[in-house]
Amino acid sequence: VGAVMSDLSGRRGRVLGTEQTSGGRTLVRAEVPEIEIGRYAIDLRSMSHGTARFDRRYVRHEPMPQQVAERLREQERAAS
């Protein structure tokens, strides 16, 4: 669970809480920007040795942090 929470934090995620399920698993609730979870299914499978899964749903829009916007602009310039 620690590796998953650390990974979510590295993706600019906010962990909202954790709870134990009846099956002995840990449910982690978090909000993560859509742009940060493009490869998450693959990365989560690797971290959990294929035992974890995730669901996602839209919650809301938020302003993009300035440093992220600058990074995306630079990537776009480099690709042009």
3-class secondary structure per residue, the chain: CHHHHHHHHHCCCEEEEEEECCCCCEEEEEECCHHHCCCHHHHHHHHCCCCCCCCCCCCCCCCCCHHHHHHHHHHHHHHC
Give the span between the Cα atoms of 53 and 62, in whole angstroms.
25
pLDDT tens, residue order, the chain (80 aa): 899 999 999 999 999 999 999 888 999 999 999 989 989 999 999 999 999 999 999 999 999 999 999 999 999 999 98
CATH number of 2-79: 3.30.70.240
Model's pTM, two decimal places? 0.76
Q: Token pair for residue 2? A: 């620690």
Given a contact cutoff of 8 angstroms between Cβ atoms, the answer to whether 45 and 52 are in contact is yes
